[in-house]
Structure 1
Amino acid sequence: MSESALPPVRGKLTAQAPLAPLVWFKAGGAADWLFEPKDVADLQDFLAALAPEVPVMALGLGSNLIVRDGGVPGVVIRLGKPFAKVNASDAVTLTCGGGASGILVSSTARDAGIAGLEFLRSIPGTVGGFVRMNGGAYGREVKDVLVDCEVVDRKGQLHTLGLADLGYTYRHSDLADGMVVVAARFRGEPGEPEAIQAEMDRISAAREASQPLRSKTGGSTFKNPDGHKAWALVDAAGCRGLTLGGAQVSEKHTNFLINTGEATSSEIEALGEEVRSRVKQTQGVELEWEIKRVGRP
């Protein structure tokens, strides 16, 4: 698809944009086109004029994501600095751009004396990503704090969706493919900045102690099945440290896969499928991917 076939933009359009540098696993192919819109109106105009058969995918920090080695067809949309602002809209509510990180959201909440959003510090993604998948950690998830969000649909129309509109279940929403979350509002409760910081420190320390944060990883690989912890099932299946090419099941936390150096995305995904197979064979439990896998094999 040539640039002349794409609508004009005020932001940045890049052909055959490598995605490996933009995702946590540091593996995978290129996007046919990477679009970084200048603002919401730029995104709306682009999607409204884009041929409806062209696939569209939003990309945040690329944490819970495997980009397959054949790359991603169509247009990948990345919300940059114009979408990374966070402001307190009242004493207990933050208005956040879809490109803002969980760290920025929780830090802004602390400075504003808003408690209850500390867990967002530990979600390695952007507002758009964790709103879409009902991200959570340490006993809380997005559905516990979300007031509403703004999304641009595939036709370029802007919608405000309340909590009830999103159909949240565990690590899932009913948002259609191609919808881009451009903003969200989160509500906490009054708190003291010192106590909020202490809780953020506790969460950070717990993550550092239990997760391979210094590695090229993708976060939690599998959802926790009802009544089980995914890591314990993987461990019991004898998969701790299991390798396939340059991919490895983490020794530190068995629900994390690691790129030990030059792993391909196909090796990482195949290792995940091998783990699923061994857990099913040994314990009769079907693990479901939490990491999203996109693109051409």
Structure 2
Amino acid sequence: MTAANGIKLAEEIKGEVRYSVPLSEHTSFRVGGPVDFLIFPADLEDLRKTLQWCRRQKIFYFILGNGSNLLVRDGGIRGVAISLARGFQGVAELERGEREGLLQAGAAEPLGRLVELCREKGLTGMEWAVGIPGTVGGALFMNAGAFRSEMKDTLESLQLMDGDGKVIETRREELHFSYRSLELKKGWVILGGKFRLKIGSSQAIRSKMEDFLKRRTAKQPLHLPSAGSVFKNPSRVSAGQLIEEVGLKGTRLREAQISEKHANFIVNLGKAKARDILTLAEWAKEKVYQEKGVKLEMEIQVMGEDE
């Protein structure tokens, strides 16, 4: 695919179209080859035109959030990455009663900013998400969670765009959430969500946030590039504990390492390759299955092709 393919779209939308963009610059792992196109729609109409263009051209596309739960292979991705960062941020307070408030957040809004805004407004229910990187849309897409809470817990409704460009609002009861997953139709895009939260004390909310952040910082290697938890936790015991028990904590392959601090994190020590990160993940899966009889399931998304 050449830059010429995107010229017509670039002329039709207000946003930006980039060609052959290294995704190592747009993912928290800091690894990965180039994507053919990176498109920044400026508004709903831009996004609609972009999706329709991808369908006409029969080009694979995906939504690139903050790249904090994504591992791109070293050969990159043949297709289109769509970033909503230019026109789909913002938080608005829609309702406020004596006991509850309703906020609307755009898909590209940083999750941390939403959490902090909840504190400022005295709305409780999102404290658990403090310190989690990524966007609201990405967190909804994977039903992010921690400390026995998940994104679905406070979600009232989701704004979506289908593959034809139609905007739809769907209530939580009609959505299919599961552990670290939201079932969406292929090609649909999360535009934002409405969250119903209880009124609380800003001071108590701050105290909870500080406690959660302290616990997260103590256990996780936040100072090194990673994509967070590599594997979903099995029902009875954590993936990190299993990997540690089979003796792989701290295992290194060139510039990639199973973290010495938390065995369910693989970190980039400087110039890691995606292939080395994936090899470490496979070692962990195989050894845990051989010794513990537990099949670990990847939590991070893996995309692209090998070099």
TM-score (norm 1): 0.96
Which stretch of structure 1 is more off in the superposition, 156-165 or 167-176?
A: 156-165
Q: In the alignment, which residue of structure 1 is the partner of 2:15?
A: 11
Pick aligned residue for 2:135 from 123, 126, 130: 126
Pick aligned residue for 2:47 from 38, 43, 47: 43
1:3 positional shift: 4.4
Instruction: Give aligned pairs, total.
Output: 297
Q: Structure 2 regions of 5+ residues with no counterpart?
A: none
1:179 positional shift: 2.0
Residue 277 (structure 1) aligned with residue 277 (structure 2): no
Residue 65 (structure 1) aligned with residue 70 (structure 2): yes
> CA–CA distance in 2 between the matches of 1:243 and 1:177?
37
Which stretch of structure 1 is more off in the superposition, 45-54 or 5-14?
A: 45-54
Q: In the alignment, which residue of structure 1 is the partner of 2:88?
A: 83
Residue 212 (structure 1) aligned with residue 212 (structure 2): no
SS at structure 1 position matched to 2:36? strand
Q: Are residues 294 and 177 of structure 1, via their aligned partners in 2, closer, same or farther at CA, if it must alter by over 3 Å?
A: farther
1:176 positional shift: 2.9
SS at structure 2 position matched to 1:124? coil
SS at structure 1 position matched to 2:282? helix
Q: In the alignment, which residue of structure 2 is the partner of 1:296?
A: 305
| Letter aligned with residue 133 of structure 1 | M
Q: Is the 8 A contact 1:44 1:158 kept in 2?
A: no
How big is each residue's C-alpha offset from its partner over 1:123-173, in whole Å with a ceiling of 9 and x where there is no partner? Answer: 221011111111111110011111111112222222212213321010011
1:64 positional shift: 1.1
1:4 positional shift: 4.4
1:198 positional shift: 1.2
Pick aligned residue for 1:152 from 146, 149, 161: 161
> CA–CA distance in 2 between the matches of 1:262 and 1:2?
28
> CA–CA distance in 2 between the matches of 1:154 and 1:68?
26
How big is each residue's C-alpha offset from its partner over 1:65-124, in whole Å with a ceiling of 9 and x where there is no partner? Answer: 101111112110111142221121112111001001111111111111111111222322
Which stretch of structure 1 is more off in the superposition, 210-219 or 120-129?
A: 120-129
| Letter aligned with residue 28 of structure 1 | G
Q: Is the 8 A contact 1:123 1:136 kept in 2?
A: no
Q: Structure 1 regions of 5+ residues with no counterpart?
A: none
> CA–CA distance in 2 between the matches of 1:2 and 1:185?
39
CA root-mean-square deviation: 1.3
Which stretch of structure 1 is more off in the superposition, 5-14 or 61-70?
A: 5-14
Q: In the alignment, which residue of structure 1 is the partner of 2:120?
A: 111
> CA–CA distance in 2 between the matches of 1:41 and 1:66?
30
Q: Is the 8 A contact 1:105 1:121 kept in 2?
A: no
> CA–CA distance in 2 between the matches of 1:238 and 1:77?
40
SS at structure 1 position matched to 2:168? strand
Q: Is the 8 A contact 2:64 2:82 kept in 1?
A: yes
Q: Is the 8 A contact 2:105 2:114 kept in 1?
A: yes
TM-score (norm 2): 0.93
Residue 56 (structure 1) aligned with residue 61 (structure 2): yes
Pick aligned residue for 2:191 from 156, 167, 182: 182
> CA–CA distance in 2 between the matches of 1:265 and 1:153?
32
SS at structure 1 position matched to 2:229? coil
> CA–CA distance in 2 between the matches of 1:71 and 1:228?
34
1:176-255 aligned at under 5 Å gives the runs 176-255=185-264
Q: Is the 8 A contact 1:105 1:120 kept in 2?
A: no
Q: Percent identity?
A: 35
> CA–CA distance in 2 between the matches of 1:184 and 1:4?
36
> CA–CA distance in 2 between the matches of 1:269 and 1:135?
22
Residue 263 (structure 1) aligned with residue 272 (structure 2): yes
1:269 positional shift: 1.0
> CA–CA distance in 2 between the matches of 1:177 and 1:234?
33
Stretches of 4+ aligned residues off by more than 4 angstroms: none
